[in-house]
Structure 1
Amino acid sequence: MSETTSTQPPAGTVARRPDRWLVLGVICLVQLVVILDNTILNVALPSLADGLGASTAQIQWAVGAYSLAQAGLLIAAGGMADRYGRKKVQLIGLSLFGLGSLGATMAGDPGELIAARAGMGVGGSLLLATSLAIVVRTFEPDEQPKAITVWSAVASLGFALGPVIGGVLLAHFWWGSCFLVNLPVAALGLIAVARLVPESKDPRGARPDLLGVLLSSCGMVGVVYGIIQGPEAGWTAPRTLLAGGLGLLFLIGFMLWERRIEHPLLDLGFFRNARFRGAVSGGVLVSFGMGGSLFLLTQHLQFVLGYDPLQAGLRTAPMALTVVALNMTGVGMRLTAKLKPPVAIGLGLSLLACGLAAIAEFGHDGSYPGILLGLVLIGAGAACSQPAMAGSIMSSIPPEKAGVGSGLMGTLSELGNSLGVAVLGAVLTAGFTGALPAGVPSSAAGSLNQALAAAGPDLKKQVKSAFADSLTSSQLIGAVAVLVGGLLAAWLLGRAGAAQPPVAPAPSEEPVAQPG
């Protein structure tokens, strides 16, 4: 299909496309499915173990391979999108994601599933690295806050609805249905992106930073691998330390290299902007709080309150519904529009911390209404803070680097989610180990089921109580971390002073292409 190039708009604006909201709908649909696959397997793990005969370690890798590949390549994918074309990278990502989903559906053993999930993660990284960049390049500055609000709502919706959709599918179909649903979306996305999404790229695309891509990818993969393996293998285990240490060395090498070359993949000068640093730290904390809380909450609902996977998934839905209700009705946007970014982010993360604390305190004794209150507060906090953070990041960098900005947003989400699961999961395990009653070996603290199997009939009640106490402690620690970090992020943003207008695009940036 041929494309014609429109006359370049004045600096600081993009052409007002009549189909811009349709473009946003396509991008959000693709993003929704990619993010869903981060959490859709949470309730399918027992079915995977039975259907494929997978071990605990193999199940963990089926989940972790996706987020590992995704997080490891996001910054590199954003840089490649800026240089070679965001639409091209989006199409490649859709193809890889669809092929990976097909491979996962047809997997006959754990190894095939893990490989397919890694392929899905590579495709997902290309899609997430371009989604926000395409949104920013499609809308005029006056409409960008509203578009980013919708984009943020869909991100939260996908993250929280994963367990719900996974539970519904498993109630009626086999485990492969969790991947099969991706295929029609990938096919529809390929057609829609090819016809509707405008092309744009950095005019310096002829100068690829291949060493930067290699160093950033290896560094991120090493760090994320260490975070994923830490709770299971031990934080001082050789493979955890080796992976994390090598990852940090690669990232240090990446930063040194980026400071030397003329056209870096990631301009480290962005981090001198206090608004950028505040938004970055806030983004990690929102994902940390939401990822860690969902990880703990699904265990709380199933192991402590006795819900089945579908019931547990449905009871996490109010968090996503709150985000959608506030953002899609415009309430969240009108509220945050009246607040400066530091206030919006500080308020949002404070609400998120209060939600974690409410779940910990009111849900300890099996009170779902208390958990419901916490979920609503977490959703309100995300709806308030996420659009402000996304807007702060994207307005802090030049539009020709929009892919890098979009990739950074995705990287922050993946890192925060992995950190939330790893850190709060480690706190849970440590607390549960110390609280086990005498007679139950500490080696059984890996899960509640193991501990109950090792305990006699007289000790089961004490074991459940110890698990509930440990969950409460972990959730409170998460709440404190989010609150303190949120105040820090707001302070950093406050130092940046009044919000600055978005940076005008470079005069030589390739103009937006219209569909042919």
Structure 2
Amino acid sequence: MGQVTEDAPTAATTGRMATTQRYVLWIAVLGSFVAFLDGTIVNVALPAISEDLGGGLTTQQWVVDAYLITLGALILVAGSVSDAYGRVLVLRIGLIGFGIASIAIAASQTSEFLIVARAVQGAAGAFLVPSSLALITSNFTGAAQSRAIGIWTAMTTSAMIVGPLIGGLLVDLVSWRLAFLINVLPIGVTLILLARGGFHDVRHPGASIDWLGATLCTLGLGGMVYALIEQPNSGWAAPNIWIPLVVGAVLFVAFVLRQRYVRSPILPLDLFRVRNFWTGNVATAFIYGALALNGLVVVVYLQEGAGLPATLAGLASVPMTIIMIFLSSRAGAWSGRWGPRFFMTVGPITMGIGALLLLTTTAEFSYWWQVLPSMIVMGVGLALTVAPLTSAILGAIEPERSGIASAVNNAVARVAGLVTVAMLAAIVGGSLDLDGFHRAAIVTAALMIAGGITSFLGIRNPPRDAVDQPPT
């Protein structure tokens, strides 16, 4: 295979992938697959985890948010490391760490140990998605890049089928612990492909990483999230709530201020001077905050409220995933041809309409009439959104900074999910009953529609002469 030159993209504009590009695409897909796979498994396993280890809704929130705290904070460091020391090195670190953490989760005997293991897994996951996407943006350009991102989106979202199916079966028939071990197979395959591919990273001498900034970011997010999750149990006036909230906010502000002056910032604020980048990230915050909230609420309510087994609850969203798989690549190609603005507007608003369809759910539960229509509509909207959103944000930044640009966008998405999950108790009114389920659907719809409006007002399509024509 030879060397992958990250500073000079190798993508041709003919629309046909070279052998090297196909190889890169498969590595990127598999490298991200494990992170997406885990995201679907954990939601399915949450009721079984809380039943086994105790803690109720609070434990469920922490199992999700412990992962998102470290992922959201360290994904920025991973982007800097990816640009400075190479995509392949970062990808290897992430894969190995993710595998070890998955084994630790499966062996957990207490909720506290599991939450710590999830935090470690989030730290490892921070090294996966940015380096995977950076491999694509460094080796594809123009319409070929949009098509490759569309394929990456479709293939990685297939984890949303594999995860609930296998994970749900293991939860129902064996144990939730084994559901976390299925990550090991794609991790092993990706490591083998990396070893056989003959890749050599391009490293930048003199590069440095802002570890102090990463610490400020992690502690800041952690303090605020702790307060949001525990507030329903103690109240805002309790010192164990307002002190972490204030300290966390101060540390996070200090992190942002530090990024203005540090020599090698992990959050380069100058990126936000690019219109499509900052607008796309605002839209990302709305959209992915809504997706995280909806994904958790639906699968948990279907088990605890509607009484479905874990397998069926996990498979409830499969129609949405199937639609994504079939349409994402095409939506990416359309976005490369006509620009992302239309798709980033219509897609989220369509998902908002799909979320509102969940209001038809009643105590006399029927998946086919009350949930399936929502999944279909949301699937269409999601397919129209994801690839154009990614292309618009990464396409606005020069290729040599694609690693950090991807990391920032992923951090925004994860932190948005972190906040909505942390506010779950406040959103649903303390318990995830039918009324709480309806309230979550309304909040999801509002966030989605806000994402669509943001895209319409802020996103600008690239000039027609700058868009490569698709293959005929």
* TM-score where L is the length of structure 1: 0.80
Instruction: Please state if 1:31 is matched with 2:15.
Output: no
Give yes or no for contact 2:223–2:244 (8 Å, CA) kept in 1. Answer: yes
AA at the equivalent of 2:446: V
Amino acid at match of 2:274: N
2:376 equivalent in structure 1: 376
What is the CA–CA distance in structure 1 between the aligned matches of 2:420 and 2:156, rounded to whole Å? 17
User: Judging changes above 3 Å, is the alpha-carbon distance between structure 1 residues 357 and 215 closer, same or farther for their aligned structure 2 residues?
Assistant: same
Aligned mates of 1:255, 1:155 — CA distance in 2: 32
Q: Distance in 1 between matches of 2:131 and 2:9?
A: 20
1:447 and 2:431 matched: yes
CA drift of 1:351 comes to: 0.6
Query: Residue 103 of structure 2 aligns with which residue?
Result: 102
Amino acid in the other structure paired with 1:355: G
Moved more, 154-163 or 82-91: 154-163
- How far has the Cα of 1:350 moved from its partner? 0.7
SS at match of 2:396: coil
How far does residue 32 in structure 1 lie from its aligned partner after superposition? 1.8
- Contact 1:75 1:408 survives alignment (8 Å): yes
Distance 1:205 1:364 in 2: 62
Counterpart of 1:493 in structure 2 is 459
**Does structure 1 residue 393 correspond to structure 2 residue 393?**
yes
Q: Deviations over 1:426-470 (max 9, x none)?
A: 2211xxxxxxxxxxxxxxxx436xxxxxxxxxxxxxxxxxx4234
C-alpha spacing 1:246/1:299, structure 2 compared with 1 (3 Å)? same
Partner residue, 2:418: 418
CA change 1:242–1:46 in 2 (3 A) is same
Q: Which amino acid in the other structure matches residue 410 of structure 1?
A: N
Provide the secondary structure at the position in 2 that maps to 1:179.
helix
CA RMSD of aligned residues (A): 3.0
| Correspondences of 1:49-128 after superposition (within 5 Å) | 49=50, 51=52, 53-56=53-56, 57-58=58-59, 60-128=61-129
Tell me how far apart the structure 1 counterparts of residues 177 and 213 of structure 2 sit (CA, whole Å). Answer: 37
Determine if contact 1:161/1:320 at 8 Å carries over to the other structure.
no
The Cα shift of 1:497 comes to 6.9
- Answer yes or no: is 1:313 the counterpart of 2:314: yes
Q: What SS does the aligned partner of 1:259 have?
A: coil
| Deviation at residue 372 of structure 1 after TM alignment | 1.1
Aligned 8 A contact 1:17 1:138 in 2: no
- Whole-Å Cα distance in 1 between the matches of residues 230 and 22 of structure 2? 41
Q: Can you give the 5+ residue segments of structure 1 that lack an aligned partner in the other structure?
A: 430-445, 449-466, 503-516
Q: Which moved more, 1:249-258 or 1:66-75?
A: 249-258
> Does the 8 A contact of 2:226 with 2:244 survive in 1?
yes
Q: CA deviation at 1:243?
A: 3.3
Superposition pairs for residues 171-190 of structure 1, below 5 Å?
171-190=172-191
Q: Distance in 1 between matches of 2:347 and 2:396?
A: 20
The alignment status of 1:203 with 2:204, answered yes or no, reads yes
SS at match of 1:252: helix
1:233-287 CA-partner distances (Å, limit 9, x unpaired): 5566544443343333233222322222444333211112221122101212221
Deviations 1:464-514 (A, max 9, x none): xxx4234223312321232133202320114x7748959xxxxxxxxxxxx
Partner Cα distance (2:96, 2:128) in 1: 10
Is the 2:352–2:378 contact (alpha carbons within 8 Å) kept by the matching residues of 1?
Answer: yes
* Paired residue secondary structure (1:19): helix
CA distance in 1, matches of 2:123, 2:198: 21
Quickly say closer, same or farther: Cα 1:447–1:377, change in 2 above 3 A: same
- Does residue 1:331 correspond to 2:297, yes or no? no
* Matching residue's letter, 2:365: G
Partner SS, residue 126 of structure 1: coil
Structure number, greater radius of gyration: 1
Name the SS for the 2:277 alignment partner. helix
CA distance in 1, matches of 2:386, 2:178: 31
For residues 338-487 of structure 1, the aligned pairs below 5 Å read: 338-361=337-360, 366-368=365-367, 369-423=369-423, 425-429=425-429, 446-447=430-431, 467-487=433-453
* Further displaced range: 97-106 or 292-301: 292-301
Does structure 2 retain, via aligned residues, the 8 Å contact 1:76–1:216?
no
SS across alignment from 2:308 = coil
Counterpart residue number, 1:143 = 144
CA distance in 2, matches of 1:291, 1:9: 32
CA distance 1:213–1:112, change in 2 (3 Å): closer
* 2:288/2:413 contact within 8 Å kept: yes
Find out whether 1:269 has 2:306 as its counterpart: no
Report the more deviating stretch, 260-269 or 479-488. Answer: 260-269
In structure 2, what is the equivalent of residue 257 of structure 1? 258
Change (3 A) 1:257 1:326: same
Structure-2 change in CA distance of 1:166 and 1:235 (3 Å): farther
8 Å CA contact 1:230–1:422 kept in 2: the answer is: no
Larger CA deviation: 188-197 vs 157-166: 157-166
Are the equivalent residues in 2 in contact too, given 1:290–1:378 (CA < 8 A)? Answer: no
Amino acid at match of 1:395: G
Distance 2:85 2:315 in 1: 42
How far is the alpha carbon of 1:5 from its aligned partner? 4.4
8 Å CA contact 1:395, 1:501 repeated in 2? no
CA contact (8 A) 1:81 1:89 kept: yes
CA distance in 2, matches of 1:116, 1:428: 27
Kept after mapping to 2: 8 A contact 1:287/1:420: no
Structure 2 counterpart of 1:259, which letter? R
1:87 aligned partner, one-letter code: V
TM-superposed CA distance for 1:126, in Å, is: 1.1
Amino acid at match of 2:146: P
Number of aligned residue pairs: give it: 461
Q: What's 2:470 paired with?
A: none
In 1, the alpha carbon distance for the partners of 2:46 and 2:425 equals: 17
Shift of 1:4: 5.4
Task: Please list, as runs of the form range in 1=range in 2, the aligned pairs for 1:152-171 lying within 5 A after superposition.
Answer: 152-158=153-159, 162-171=163-172
* Counterpart amino acid of residue 371 in structure 1: V
Go from structure 1 to structure 2 and tell me whether the alpha carbon gap of 1:374 and 1:427 turns closer, same or farther (over 3 Å shift): same
Any stretches of 5+ residues in structure 2 without a counterpart?
A: 468-472
The percentage of aligned residue pairs carrying the same residue is 28
What are the within-5 Å matches in structure 2 for residues 283-302 of structure 1?
Answer: 283-302=284-303
